[in-house]
Amino acid sequence: MSKKVRVRFAPSPTGGLHLGGVRTVLYNYLFAKKHGGDFVLRIEDTDQTRYVAGAEAYIFNCLEWAGLVPNESPLHGGNYGPYRQSERKAAGMYQQYADQLIEQGHAYYAFDTPEELEKMRAIYKTAENPSPQYDHTLRMKMRNSLSLSAAETNQLLAAGTKKVVRIKMPQNETVSFTDMIRGEVSFDTALVDDKVLLKADGMPTYHLAVVVDDYLMQISHAFRGEEWLPSAPVHVLLWKYLFGLEAMPQWAHLPLILGPSGKLSKRDGARYGFPVFAMNWTDPKTNELTEGFKEKGFLPEAFINLLALLGWNDGTEKEIFSKDELVNAFSMERVHAAGAKFDYEKAKWFNHDWIKHVDSNLLLPLVKDLLLQNEIPVTDESLLLQVISLIKDRCTLLPDFVQQTSFFFKAPQQLDVAAVKSKWTDEKKTFFEAFTETVLQQTDFTPAALETAFKELAAEKNIKPGELQLPLRIMLVGGKFGPPVFDIAVLLGKKETAERIKRGLKQF
RNA sequence: GGCCCGUUCGUCUAAGGGUUAGGACACCACCCUUUCACGGUGGUGAUACGAGUUCGAAUCUCGUACGGGCUACCA
């Protein structure tokens, strides 16, 4: 009898949500859906000094956009609330466990001030040991309930002296566990420091909170970034002391997503020339805007597709997956152990492919929005739909639609005259004057029929039709791009096509 | 420095001891197309190094090198 699958994503609301974060969400989500489980979102806001206004709402917006909505969260409710650690602390959910650990002798009070800690690090710092740890080698030299007598400790406690609770790491134990991605991982406890569990302000640190909350929320599988691996022995020990190893979730430490130079970090923003955040993020303090994948013009379907394939594959050569297909195919065991360097070129390819194959109706509102933003009037939605189908092969990112569709709704302001001028002749001018009439009088106004008429007239005037197509394009489009020129003319209509030709003739 | 994790084309990756080491992105060439793309065909390009186990190693073991992460009263 296996317990119900319950997974959680536990971000701290300190800024934008980057690629790695979204991928962690995605793997959680896929795993939960695949196994008919619950996906919980818990806010890890125990560090009040790092509180950033708006960050939590922003995270929900990103998840909404990506289509990875949690079953339980501070926003969506649930039976295991509250879902913010600050509120859980206020409800007194952590203190008792810290007390229990102290009673068991697995944790102790430490009275060292930040200054004293700094001093300790300065004193014991050597070339061989550049960052001394508060561990079994040093704890008896510090001020804590282990080094002090019971009377002294009680006196300090009674006086309300600032204190933290630290875990007492055992001196000769090997802690090991099975990671779903890496297999067995083990650590020598003597080499791990006595991490703070409860801070002076009464807030738990991540280490205590993650264990207590995962237990209370009945989390069955805990997925997080590889950067947590070094502190995993602390969490395993806490599970052992508090709730028993049988109750511990199965761990999977996800490989990191690397930027051009190491771990992708929130601070790196758009420094790489590509977005790192899911959506635009404006730092409330500096007002600095960092562009997101959404605003850059990525489809959410493409975004999760490319993220899923960054470190995972289904064992076949399939690369394009819908969300449902991902749910169906996903397995944690097929996630790679090695970190993956993010490749923006490939990311764009995913988006391009999604744009090409997705139903144009889905693109319609997005493109319309974009055109309106660029002051291009869209009066006819059914025309826009036809245009989108005609040109979506040419668009990698959503904003590409602006250039590719705008000339259907607004005559080009400037024509690329230079592309035509050198080969321009009076004969060609005569041709186009005649062709204007052809267009106006065409009864079968379809691309094929128009092209035939065009070629017949060219033959009549003894000009190679190929020499005339580019000028026509320039007159209709303004530049050397766009779909087949007779498709454009038909969508434009007889009148508009004729007018653009007349206008173009004046400029050549 | 210590600890942990990792290492297949430039990048993402496949290959449950036996393959001419496969695919995708990017790049190059050709075809299609008298625009730009899409598409098609082909090409360049990888098992970090050294030992060992084995008839046989990208695959198992060890060492080395390299890369990354952690080393806060941050997560």
Per-residue pLDDT at A419: 87
Residues of A classed as catalytic: 266
Residue nearest to nucleotide B12 (CA to C1'): A310
CA distance A466 to A416: 18
User: What is the C-alpha to C-alpha distance for residues A406 and A488, in angstroms, rounded to an integer?
Assistant: 12
Q: What does the block give as tokens for A284?
A: 């409330």
For chain A, the average pLDDT equals 94
A79 touches strand B (CB under 7 A): no
* CA dist., res. A162 & res. A429, Å (int): 90
Pick A411-507's CATH classification: 3.40.605.10, 3.40.30.10, 1.10.10.410, 1.10.10.350.
1.10.10.350
Q: What is the ipTM of this complex?
A: 0.95
- Chain B footprint positions (protein CB, under 7 Å): 1-8, 10-15, 22-26, 34-39, 67-75
Q: Are A376 and A402 in contact (CB under 8 A)?
A: yes
Q: What is the C-alpha to C-alpha distance for residues A418 and A429, in angstroms, rounded to an integer? A: 16
Residue A508 contacts strand B, CB under 7 A: no
Mean pLDDT of A301-324: 96
Query: Does strand B come within 7 Å of the CB of A267?
Result: no
CATH no. for A95-209: 3.90.800.10
Distance A397 CA to B27 C1' (A): 21
Tens digit of each residue's pLDDT (9 = 90 or more) over A125-155: 998 899 999 999 999 999 999 999 999 999 9
Task: Supply the DSSP symbol for A204.
Answer: B
Å between CA of A18 and C1' of B12? 19
Distance CA A444, CA A449 (A): 6
Retrieve residue A222's tokens. Answer: 């805990």
Indicate yes or no: strand B within 7 A of the C-beta of A129: yes
Q: What is the pLDDT of residues A385-426, one digit of tens each?
A: 999 999 999 999 999 999 999 999 999 988 998 888 888 999
Q: How far is the CA of A309 from the C1' of B60 (A)?
A: 28
In whole angstroms, what is the distance from residue A312 CA to residue A153 CA? 52
The residue extents of the domains of chain A are 95-209, 411-507
Q: How far apart are CA A163 and CA A147, in angstroms?
A: 14
Degrees to nearest 5, angle at CA A47 with A42 and A50: 105
State the pTM of this model. Answer: 0.95
Written in H, E and C, the secondary structure of A31-63 is HHHHCCCEEEECECCCCHHHCCCCHHHHHHHHH
Q: How buried is A447 (Cβ within 10 angstroms: 0-12 exposed, 13-18 middle, 19+ buried)?
A: middle
- Greatest pairwise CA separation for chain A in angstroms: 112
Residues 332-351 of chain A within 7 A of strand B, judged by CB, are: 334, 336-341, 343, 345-346, 348-349
